[in-house]
Amino acid sequence: AQSVAQPEDQVNVAEGNPLTVKCTYSVSGNPYLFWYVQYPNRGLQFLLKYITGDNLVKGSYGFEAEFNKSQTSFHLKKPSALVSDSALYFCAVRPSFSGGYNKLIFGAGTRLAVHP
């Protein structure tokens, strides 16, 4: 079965410190990978994506993510966390063999708490 795992329910980090939010996936082929962020009572906002090429992709608000094919991981990173980064983060994959339609499979989400 195709799935996305976010092993940490919550990540706590001090403001100014680097942060990492982990994601691993189990999908056949070469999927497209995404990170989204959700603020309270809001929809999901697109942060970044990996399709092919350089394993380190850069996105919005200073976030980046590192793709590792051998470990089937796509961890979200930021060199210096801000209090305003506190939110719920979702990793998602689009299987390469999705029957011709654009279905995203999401992880359960990781709550990021950045403390002053």
Partner 1 sequence: ETGVTQSPTHLIKTRGQQVTLRCSSQSGHNTVSWYQQALGQGPQFIFQYYREEENGRGNFPPRFSGLQFPNYSSELNVNALELDDSALYLCASSSPGLAGGEQYFGPGTRLTVT
Which residue shows structure tokens 């990996």?
50
- Other C-beta atoms within 10 Å of 74: how many? 27
Give the per-residue contact string, 18-37, with partner 1 (x = CB under 8 A; - = no). --------------x-x-x-
1 binds partner 1 (CB under 8 A): no
Contact status, residue 81 vs residue 19, Cβ threshold 8 Å = yes
Which DSSP symbol is given to 96? Answer: S
80 binds partner 1 (CB under 8 A): no
74 binds partner 1 (CB under 8 A): no
94 binds partner 1 (CB under 8 A): yes
- Other C-beta atoms within 10 Å of 70: how many? 5
Give the interface with partner 1 as residue ranges (CB under 8 A). Answer: 4, 32, 34, 36, 41-46, 49, 51, 90, 92, 94, 98-109
